[in-house]
Copies of this chain bind each other. A is one copy, B any other.
Amino acid sequence: MLLVLLNVVAVVVESEHQLYEAYQLYFDGFEIFSVAVFTLEYGLRLWVCVESSDKALQHSLRGRWRYVYSPMALIDLLAILPFYLSFFFGVSDWRVLRSLRLLRLLKLTRYSRSLALLLTVIRQEADTLISALLILCTLIMLAATGMYWLEGHVQPEAFGSIPRALWWSTVSVATVGYGDVTPITQAGKLFSGIIIILGIAIAALPAAILASGIINELKRRRESFRLEMVRAMENGFLDFGGLRYLEKVRIHIGISRAEARLVFEEVKQENRLQTQTRCPHCAHSLMIKHPPGHVHVHSVKLRD
Protein backbone atom coordinates (compact mmCIF):
# COMPACT_ATOMS: atom_id res chain seq x y z
CA MET A 1 0.00 0.00 0.00
CA LEU A 2 1.54 3.24 -1.23
CA LEU A 3 -0.31 5.24 1.42
CA VAL A 4 1.65 3.60 4.24
CA LEU A 5 4.99 4.59 2.69
CA LEU A 6 3.74 8.14 2.04
CA ASN A 7 2.77 8.36 5.72
CA VAL A 8 6.26 7.38 6.82
CA VAL A 9 7.77 9.97 4.49
CA ALA A 10 5.39 12.56 5.99
CA VAL A 11 6.44 11.75 9.57
CA VAL A 12 10.12 11.99 8.62
CA VAL A 13 9.83 15.20 6.63
CA GLU A 14 7.56 16.99 9.08
CA SER A 15 10.06 16.56 11.92
CA GLU A 16 12.11 19.21 10.09
CA HIS A 17 10.57 22.25 11.83
CA GLN A 18 10.91 24.85 9.11
CA LEU A 19 9.29 22.58 6.59
CA TYR A 20 6.48 21.72 8.97
CA GLU A 21 5.67 25.32 9.75
CA ALA A 22 5.76 26.26 6.08
CA TYR A 23 3.43 23.54 4.88
CA GLN A 24 1.48 22.74 8.09
CA LEU A 25 -1.80 22.83 6.21
CA TYR A 26 -0.76 20.17 3.72
CA PHE A 27 0.70 17.90 6.40
CA ASP A 28 -2.41 18.13 8.57
CA GLY A 29 -4.65 17.57 5.55
CA PHE A 30 -2.67 14.50 4.51
CA GLU A 31 -2.83 13.17 8.08
CA ILE A 32 -6.61 13.56 8.23
CA PHE A 33 -6.98 11.96 4.79
CA SER A 34 -4.84 8.92 5.64
CA VAL A 35 -6.50 8.42 9.03
CA ALA A 36 -9.86 8.51 7.23
CA VAL A 37 -8.71 5.85 4.75
CA PHE A 38 -7.24 3.62 7.47
CA THR A 39 -10.41 3.99 9.61
CA LEU A 40 -12.55 3.04 6.62
CA GLU A 41 -10.29 0.01 5.97
CA TYR A 42 -10.51 -1.01 9.63
CA GLY A 43 -14.28 -0.69 9.64
CA LEU A 44 -14.67 -2.69 6.44
CA ARG A 45 -12.40 -5.48 7.69
CA LEU A 46 -14.39 -5.61 10.93
CA TRP A 47 -17.63 -5.79 8.94
CA VAL A 48 -16.43 -8.48 6.56
CA CYS A 49 -14.54 -10.66 9.04
CA VAL A 50 -17.60 -12.81 9.87
CA GLU A 51 -17.64 -13.99 6.24
CA SER A 52 -14.18 -15.44 6.71
CA SER A 53 -13.53 -19.14 6.13
CA ASP A 54 -12.17 -19.37 9.67
CA LYS A 55 -14.87 -20.99 11.84
CA ALA A 56 -13.85 -19.18 15.01
CA LEU A 57 -14.88 -15.84 13.52
CA GLN A 58 -18.25 -16.78 12.05
CA HIS A 59 -20.40 -15.77 15.00
CA SER A 60 -21.65 -12.23 14.28
CA LEU A 61 -20.74 -10.57 17.59
CA ARG A 62 -18.26 -12.81 19.35
CA GLY A 63 -16.44 -13.35 16.03
CA ARG A 64 -15.94 -9.61 15.58
CA TRP A 65 -14.79 -9.23 19.16
CA ARG A 66 -12.28 -12.03 18.65
CA TYR A 67 -11.08 -10.38 15.44
CA VAL A 68 -10.39 -7.11 17.27
CA TYR A 69 -7.87 -8.97 19.44
CA SER A 70 -6.06 -10.66 16.53
CA PRO A 71 -2.51 -9.26 16.01
CA MET A 72 -3.29 -7.93 12.55
CA ALA A 73 -6.33 -6.01 13.77
CA LEU A 74 -4.41 -4.61 16.73
CA ILE A 75 -1.76 -3.19 14.39
CA ASP A 76 -4.48 -1.63 12.27
CA LEU A 77 -6.04 -0.10 15.38
CA LEU A 78 -2.67 1.18 16.63
CA ALA A 79 -2.21 2.93 13.29
CA ILE A 80 -5.26 5.15 13.77
CA LEU A 81 -5.67 5.40 17.54
CA PRO A 82 -2.99 8.08 18.17
CA PHE A 83 -4.88 10.53 15.95
CA TYR A 84 -8.20 10.08 17.74
CA LEU A 85 -6.56 10.21 21.18
CA SER A 86 -4.84 13.50 20.40
CA PHE A 87 -8.05 14.80 18.81
CA PHE A 88 -10.32 14.09 21.79
CA PHE A 89 -7.88 14.76 24.65
CA GLY A 90 -6.12 17.79 23.20
CA VAL A 91 -2.78 18.00 21.48
CA SER A 92 -0.54 17.44 24.48
CA ASP A 93 2.51 15.30 23.69
CA TRP A 94 1.66 15.75 20.05
CA ARG A 95 5.18 14.97 18.83
CA VAL A 96 5.38 11.56 20.46
CA LEU A 97 1.98 10.51 19.14
CA ARG A 98 2.79 11.68 15.64
CA SER A 99 5.92 9.52 15.57
CA LEU A 100 3.87 6.55 16.62
CA ARG A 101 2.43 6.71 13.14
CA LEU A 102 5.70 5.08 12.08
CA LEU A 103 4.15 1.88 13.37
CA ARG A 104 1.93 1.98 10.29
CA LEU A 105 4.96 0.46 8.56
CA LEU A 106 4.01 -2.80 10.27
CA LYS A 107 0.83 -2.83 8.19
CA LEU A 108 2.98 -3.77 5.22
CA THR A 109 3.37 -7.26 6.69
CA ARG A 110 -0.03 -8.09 5.31
CA TYR A 111 1.14 -7.61 1.74
CA SER A 112 4.39 -9.56 1.57
CA ARG A 113 4.93 -13.31 1.85
CA SER A 114 8.70 -13.13 2.34
CA LEU A 115 8.37 -10.50 5.07
CA ALA A 116 5.95 -12.86 6.81
CA LEU A 117 8.50 -15.68 6.43
CA LEU A 118 11.26 -13.59 8.03
CA LEU A 119 9.02 -12.50 10.91
CA THR A 120 7.96 -16.12 11.46
CA VAL A 121 11.60 -17.19 11.62
CA ILE A 122 12.52 -14.35 13.98
CA ARG A 123 9.58 -15.24 16.25
CA GLN A 124 10.49 -18.94 16.22
CA GLU A 125 14.15 -18.27 16.94
CA ALA A 126 13.42 -15.46 19.44
CA ASP A 127 14.46 -17.73 22.29
CA THR A 128 17.78 -18.66 20.72
CA LEU A 129 18.43 -15.09 19.58
CA ILE A 130 17.91 -13.79 23.10
CA SER A 131 20.35 -16.44 24.38
CA ALA A 132 22.90 -15.30 21.79
CA LEU A 133 22.43 -11.68 22.84
CA LEU A 134 22.85 -12.79 26.47
CA ILE A 135 26.20 -14.39 25.61
CA LEU A 136 27.09 -11.20 23.75
CA CYS A 137 26.12 -9.10 26.77
CA THR A 138 28.27 -11.28 29.02
CA LEU A 139 31.24 -10.63 26.72
CA ILE A 140 30.45 -6.90 26.67
CA MET A 141 30.24 -6.92 30.47
CA LEU A 142 33.56 -8.74 30.82
CA ALA A 143 35.17 -6.34 28.33
CA ALA A 144 33.88 -3.35 30.27
CA THR A 145 35.11 -4.82 33.58
CA GLY A 146 38.52 -5.57 32.09
CA MET A 147 38.96 -2.08 30.68
CA TYR A 148 37.74 -0.58 33.97
CA TRP A 149 40.59 -2.39 35.73
CA LEU A 150 43.19 -1.64 33.04
CA GLU A 151 42.46 1.94 31.99
CA GLY A 152 40.14 3.17 34.73
CA HIS A 153 42.83 5.43 36.19
CA VAL A 154 44.32 6.53 32.82
CA GLN A 155 41.10 7.64 31.15
CA PRO A 156 38.69 8.20 34.08
CA GLU A 157 36.33 10.03 31.74
CA ALA A 158 35.83 6.97 29.51
CA PHE A 159 36.62 3.99 31.71
CA GLY A 160 36.21 5.41 35.23
CA SER A 161 33.35 3.02 36.08
CA ILE A 162 31.82 -0.07 34.54
CA PRO A 163 28.71 1.71 33.23
CA ARG A 164 30.95 4.24 31.47
CA ALA A 165 33.20 1.48 30.06
CA LEU A 166 30.09 -0.31 28.80
CA TRP A 167 29.67 2.32 26.08
CA TRP A 168 33.11 1.55 24.66
CA SER A 169 32.73 -2.22 24.97
CA THR A 170 29.27 -2.27 23.32
CA VAL A 171 30.52 -0.18 20.40
CA SER A 172 33.65 -2.36 20.05
CA VAL A 173 32.15 -5.83 20.37
CA ALA A 174 29.42 -4.88 17.90
CA THR A 175 32.25 -3.88 15.48
CA VAL A 176 30.74 -0.41 15.13
CA GLY A 177 33.85 1.35 16.44
CA TYR A 178 33.01 5.06 16.47
CA GLY A 179 36.47 5.90 17.70
CA ASP A 180 35.33 8.51 20.21
CA VAL A 181 36.80 6.33 22.97
CA THR A 182 39.85 4.12 22.33
CA PRO A 183 42.33 2.37 24.62
CA ILE A 184 45.70 4.14 24.85
CA THR A 185 47.86 1.93 27.10
CA GLN A 186 49.68 -1.15 25.78
CA ALA A 187 47.79 -3.46 28.13
CA GLY A 188 44.47 -1.91 27.15
CA LYS A 189 45.22 -2.35 23.44
CA LEU A 190 46.25 -5.97 23.93
CA PHE A 191 43.13 -6.72 25.99
CA SER A 192 40.77 -5.00 23.59
CA GLY A 193 42.44 -6.74 20.64
CA ILE A 194 41.56 -10.08 22.21
CA ILE A 195 38.04 -8.88 23.00
CA ILE A 196 37.53 -7.67 19.42
CA ILE A 197 38.62 -11.01 17.97
CA LEU A 198 36.36 -12.88 20.39
CA GLY A 199 33.64 -10.38 19.48
CA ILE A 200 33.79 -11.43 15.83
CA ALA A 201 33.05 -15.02 16.82
CA ILE A 202 30.25 -14.14 19.25
CA ALA A 203 28.66 -11.43 17.10
CA ALA A 204 28.40 -14.06 14.37
CA LEU A 205 25.93 -16.07 16.46
CA PRO A 206 22.75 -14.21 15.37
CA ALA A 207 23.64 -14.67 11.70
CA ALA A 208 24.20 -18.37 12.34
CA ILE A 209 20.95 -18.74 14.27
CA LEU A 210 18.90 -16.92 11.64
CA ALA A 211 20.51 -18.89 8.80
CA SER A 212 19.74 -22.14 10.57
CA GLY A 213 16.19 -20.91 11.31
CA ILE A 214 15.43 -19.93 7.71
CA ILE A 215 16.87 -23.16 6.32
CA ASN A 216 14.90 -25.28 8.78
CA GLU A 217 11.67 -23.36 8.26
CA LEU A 218 11.91 -23.78 4.48
CA LYS A 219 12.73 -27.47 4.89
CA ARG A 220 9.78 -27.96 7.23
CA ARG A 221 7.45 -26.33 4.71
CA ARG A 222 8.80 -28.44 1.87
CA GLU A 223 8.39 -31.55 4.03
CA SER A 224 4.79 -30.66 4.93
CA PHE A 225 4.03 -30.07 1.27
CA ARG A 226 5.64 -33.40 0.38
CA LEU A 227 3.51 -35.19 2.95
CA GLU A 228 0.39 -33.57 1.49
CA MET A 229 1.43 -34.56 -2.02
CA VAL A 230 2.17 -38.17 -1.12
CA ARG A 231 -1.23 -38.30 0.55
CA ALA A 232 -2.91 -36.82 -2.54
CA MET A 233 -1.17 -39.28 -4.88
CA GLU A 234 -1.86 -42.33 -2.77
CA ASN A 235 -4.09 -43.98 -5.35
CA GLY A 236 -1.27 -43.70 -7.87
CA PHE A 237 -2.38 -40.74 -9.93
CA LEU A 238 -3.26 -37.08 -9.45
CA ASP A 239 -6.62 -35.87 -10.73
CA PHE A 240 -7.63 -32.27 -11.37
CA GLY A 241 -9.27 -31.87 -7.95
CA GLY A 242 -6.10 -33.11 -6.27
CA LEU A 243 -4.02 -30.66 -8.27
CA ARG A 244 -6.22 -27.72 -7.28
CA TYR A 245 -6.08 -28.84 -3.66
CA LEU A 246 -2.27 -29.09 -3.80
CA GLU A 247 -2.03 -25.60 -5.34
CA LYS A 248 -4.10 -24.23 -2.44
CA VAL A 249 -1.88 -26.07 0.04
CA ARG A 250 1.24 -24.75 -1.73
CA ILE A 251 0.06 -21.13 -1.38
CA HIS A 252 -1.03 -21.69 2.22
CA ILE A 253 2.30 -23.25 3.23
CA GLY A 254 4.14 -20.65 1.17
CA ILE A 255 6.72 -22.39 -0.98
CA SER A 256 7.70 -21.37 -4.48
CA ARG A 257 6.34 -22.95 -7.64
CA ALA A 258 9.82 -24.22 -8.64
CA GLU A 259 10.25 -25.90 -5.26
CA ALA A 260 6.82 -27.52 -5.60
CA ARG A 261 7.65 -28.84 -9.06
CA LEU A 262 10.83 -30.48 -7.77
CA VAL A 263 8.96 -32.14 -4.91
CA PHE A 264 6.40 -33.35 -7.46
CA GLU A 265 9.15 -34.83 -9.66
CA GLU A 266 10.62 -36.69 -6.71
CA VAL A 267 7.32 -38.08 -5.49
CA LYS A 268 6.42 -39.08 -9.07
CA GLN A 269 9.71 -40.92 -9.52
CA GLU A 270 9.30 -42.74 -6.23
CA ASN A 271 5.79 -43.71 -7.29
CA ARG A 272 6.99 -44.81 -10.70
CA LEU A 273 9.55 -47.14 -9.13
CA GLN A 274 6.67 -48.63 -7.18
CA THR A 275 4.15 -48.81 -10.00
CA GLN A 276 6.79 -50.58 -12.08
CA THR A 277 6.42 -53.43 -9.65
CA ARG A 278 3.01 -54.39 -10.98
CA CYS A 279 2.28 -57.97 -11.69
CA PRO A 280 2.93 -58.32 -15.42
CA HIS A 281 0.27 -61.05 -15.61
CA CYS A 282 -2.75 -59.81 -13.72
CA ALA A 283 -1.77 -56.08 -13.62
CA HIS A 284 -2.48 -55.91 -9.90
CA SER A 285 0.03 -53.68 -8.16
CA LEU A 286 2.50 -55.77 -6.25
CA MET A 287 2.70 -53.04 -3.63
CA ILE A 288 -0.58 -54.43 -2.30
CA LYS A 289 1.08 -57.81 -2.69
CA HIS A 290 -1.48 -59.69 -4.81
CA PRO A 291 -3.40 -62.20 -2.66
CA PRO A 292 -1.61 -65.56 -2.72
CA GLY A 293 -4.56 -67.22 -4.39
CA HIS A 294 -3.70 -65.42 -7.61
CA VAL A 295 -0.44 -67.29 -7.73
CA HIS A 296 -2.20 -70.49 -8.40
CA VAL A 297 -4.64 -69.11 -10.87
CA HIS A 298 -1.66 -68.29 -13.07
CA SER A 299 0.33 -71.35 -12.11
CA VAL A 300 -2.57 -73.55 -13.07
CA LYS A 301 -2.50 -71.99 -16.53
CA LEU A 302 1.20 -72.72 -16.81
CA ARG A 303 0.98 -76.18 -15.44
CA ASP A 304 -1.65 -77.15 -17.96
Name A residues whose Cβ lies closer than 8 Å to a Cβ of B.
8, 11-13, 15-17, 95-96, 99, 102, 105-106, 108, 112-115, 117-119, 127-138, 141-142, 144-145, 148-149, 161-164, 166-167, 170-172, 174-180, 182, 189, 193, 196-197, 199-201, 203-216, 218, 220, 223-224, 227, 230-231, 258-259, 262, 265-266, 269, 276-277, 279-281, 286-299, 301-303
Contacts and interface: CB of A to CB of B under 8 A. Distances in A.
A163 B201 contact: no
A218 B207 contact: no
Nearest to A135: B118
A130 B201 CA distance: 10
B105 A131 contact: no
B178 A182 contact: yes
A288 B293 contact: no
A59 to B, nearest CB: 29
Nearest to A16: B161
Contacts of A209: 118, 214
A178 B279 CA distance: 75
A259 to B, nearest CB: 8
Contact of A163 (B13, B96, B141, B286): B13
B298 A293 contact: yes
Given A211-B212, A269-B230, A131 B102 contact: no
B182 A177 contact: no
Given A102-B145, A211-B211, 17 more contacts: A15-B145, A15-B163, A102-B142, A132-B201, A170-B197, A171-B177, A174-B196, A175-B176, A179-B179, A204-B206, A209-B214, A216-B218, A220-B259, A230-B269, A280-B291, A281-B292, A293-B302
Contacts of A299: 292-293, 295-296
11 contacts: A105-B138, A118-B209, A175-B175, A176-B176, A177-B178, A204-B210, A230-B269, A231-B269, A281-B291, A290-B292, A292-B296
Contacts of A298: 291-293
A258 to B, nearest CB: 8
Nearest to A177: B176
Nearest to A142: B102
Contacts of A227: 265-266, 269
A264 to B, nearest CB: 11
A213 B206 contact: no
Given A8-B141, A131-B112, A286-B289, A161 B215 contact: no
